[in-house]
Amino acid sequence: MTLALRILRGFLSLWLIVTLVFVALRATGDPITAIFDPDNTPKAALEAYRQQWGYTGTVFDQYLVYISNILHGEFGFSSMSNRDAYSVVMERLPATLQLVGCSALLMMAIGIPVGAVAALNSGGRLDRFVMTFSTVGFALPNFVLGLALILLFSVNLRLLPSNGIGTAAHLIMPVLTIGISKAAIFTRFVRSAILDALKLTCVTSARARGVSEWQIFWHHVIPNAMLPLVTITPLLVGAMVAASAVVETVFGWPGVGRLIVESVAQRDLAVVQMIVMMIALVMIVTNLLVDLAYSKLDPRTALAPAH
C-alpha cells in the first residue's frame, strides 16, 4: 500500500468516526432537548440554538452543517461551562500533554534498560525479579497506586501535595503513577522483543562469524527488536490516554482526562464529542507515523523504497 493510500485511509477512519458520533447523538433524540430543559427555556431561545448549531432541515442537511462546523473547529456549546466546547478543551490540553509527556519519558527510562537487562539475563534471578515487578505493576490499577501514593506521601509523610497543579512537586505523584504502571507493561514488551531477536538465526550466524557481542547487540538484535516495539506504540498511546482520565481525577489535575470524566457525568455532549474526535485524530496520526517508521525500519514491507 502506498503512502497516499494510507493517508487516505486515515481520513476515511476520521470521517467514519465523525459520522458515528453524529449518528449516536441523533439516536438519543433531539440534541437540543438533551442540553436544555424544554419546559424552562423560551421557545425562541431553543429555536435560536437550533439555527446556530444547524439542527434544522432534514437529517442530511443537519449532517452537512455538522461536518462543516467541525471543519471550522466548532464542536458545539458546552452546557457545563457555558462556552464553546473547543476553547474549553483546548485550555485543558497543555496540562494533559505535560503529564502524559513526562510519564512517557519515565516509562521509557524504566522500560528500555530494565527490559533489555532482563532479556539478556533471561531466566536468571534479575529476570525473574523484573517479571514479578511487571506482573505486580500490571495488576495494580492506576487509582489504587495513586491513592497509595497519596496515603504515603501526602497523608503520612506530608511531603507532596495530593491535589492540583502548579509546582514541580504537584507533578511528581501523577507522573509516578502513570509512568510506573505503564513501565510495567512496556518492560515486558521490550524484554520479549529483545528475547525474540536474540533467538534469531541471524544472531547465531553473526556469533559464529565472530562478530563481537557489542556489535551483535546494536546491529543485529536492536534493529530486529525495534520492529515489534514500534507496532505497539499506538497501544501505549491509547493506554496513556486511558490512564490520564483516571489519574487526573485522582490527583485533581485539570487536564482533558478529568474534563471528559466530568463531562460524561454531566452529559456535556459537545465537550465529549470534541474530546473523542481529538483522541481519534491522535490515534490515527499515531498509526500513520508507525506505518511510516515501520517501513523505514523493515525493508520487507511494501512501503519500503524499492531497490
Contact, 132 vs 124, CB < 8 A? no
DSSP letters along 79-133, please? TTTTEEHHHHHHHHHHHHHHHHHHHHHHHHHHHHHHHHHHHHTTTSHHHHHHHHH
**Residue span binding other proteins (CB under 8 A) among the ranges 41-49, 59-67, 102-110, 299-307:** 299-307
State the helix-helix crossing angle for 233-250 and 256-266, rounded to 10 degrees.
Answer: 70
* CA-based radius of gyration for the chain: 24
- Tell me whether residue 13 or residue 69 sits nearer to other proteins (CB atom): 13
The correct pick among 172, 211, 281, 293 for binding other proteins (CB under 8 A) is 211
**Residue span binding other proteins (CB under 8 A) among the ranges 57-65, 82-90, 108-116, 282-290:** 282-290
The answer to the question of residue 143 lying near other proteins (CB under 8 A) is: yes
The answer to the question of residue 238 lying near other proteins (CB under 8 A) is: yes
The correct pick among 103, 177, 187, 287 for binding other proteins (CB under 8 A) is 287
Residue 121 CB burial class (10 angstroms; 0-12, 13-18, ≥19) = middle
250-279 residues near other proteins, rule: CB under 8 A: 250, 260-261, 263-265, 267-269, 272-273, 276, 279
73: closest CA among 63, 60, 59, 87?
Answer: 87
- Tell me whether residue 125 or residue 307 sits nearer to other proteins (CB atom): 307
**How many residues sit in the footprint of other proteins (CB under 8 A)?**
72
Interface characters, 109-138, with other proteins (x: CB under 8 A)? --------------------------xx-x
Cell reading at 17: 468516526
The maximal CA–CA distance of the chain, rounded, in angstroms, is 84
- Tell me whether residue 91 or residue 298 sits nearer to other proteins (CB atom): 298
- Tell me whether residue 109 or residue 242 sits nearer to other proteins (CB atom): 242
The answer to the question of residue 208 lying near other proteins (CB under 8 A) is: yes
12-31 residues near other proteins, rule: CB under 8 A: 13, 16, 21, 24-25, 27-28
| 173/302 Cα distance (integer angstroms) | 44
The answer to the question of residue 148 lying near other proteins (CB under 8 A) is: yes
77 DSSP β-pair partners? 84
